[in-house]
Structure 1
């Protein structure tokens, strides 16, 4: 569950010189309501249209890019090539790992940072300060494995 609230987002937008317009608020509310999903811009647009019929797809894209630039959302591209968005759940931390089922397309998040030692090794050996990383494991989820056995 995201620890961001609409007020946090409003405050961050204002600090960066943006307003939380009704269209942006409708987009953010979808992300807050569905914070356990990884939605594409098109999926978000379809859901936002139900709350704000006047909104355009370009507005949703611009809002998502602003939120991503401000590190309020996380943009990930999976095997299907679509950019998907979700709210940053751990502000100030960069871990964000995923399990992607290649059969049903389900995407699960791993909350723990499993790469601390790898990052330290990279910093020591290469003098490279890691600021972010993404890790996606592709495989077959439990449900699809069970369906295979039946």
Structure 2
């Protein structure tokens, strides 16, 4: 957690921003929940438990700033809400998405990395990023 907090502080300073009390509280809230995929509204509710004075506009502005600094990523799962997750450069992962309840499960697989390398070699194509999502039903919903 401290490593990510330091990374955020450094990126803010490099871009002439300050680590305000509100930004720090928002980051800490995100970091305390492991593998959290959240909407702005969910983040707002979690932060409000610590500080009743924080406003929704502060949440939106901070999320936009964090996205611009590659601290969080927006996840587009073709539903009506924007979800966010903390961006960890060291870990590339994919998602399983339940079509019924919306549950998100992260997974990582070395076979996919091997497949990506084969595609690059076979087609002479340099892949710079990929997003893999599988849609189906979680254990609870398939029963």
Q: Which runs of 4+ in 1 moved over 6 A?
A: none
Gaps of 5+ in 2: none
TM-score (norm 1): 0.80
- Residue segments in structure 1 that go unaligned for 5+ positions in a row: none
Partner of 1:35 in structure 2? 34
User: Deviation at 1:44?
Assistant: 0.5
Cα pair distance change 1:61/1:128, threshold 3 Å: farther
Verify: 1:88 aligned to 2:87, yes or no.
Answer: yes
Give the TM-score normalised by structure 2: 0.83
1:14 corresponding residue in structure 2: 13
Offset at residue 11 of structure 1 (A): 1.8
123-132 or 103-112, which deviates more = 123-132
User: Aligned pair 1:137/2:134, yes or no?
Assistant: yes
How many pairs does the alignment contain? 143
Which string of whole-angstrom CA distances, capped at 9 and with x for unpartnered residues, describes residues 45-74 of structure 1?
111122222222122112112212221112
Measured after TM superposition, the shift of residue 41 of structure 1 is: 0.8
Distance 1:127 1:36 in 2: 35
For residues 74 and 110 of structure 2, the distance between their equivalents in structure 1, rounded to whole angstroms, comes to 18
Aligned residue for 1:100, secondary structure, equals strand
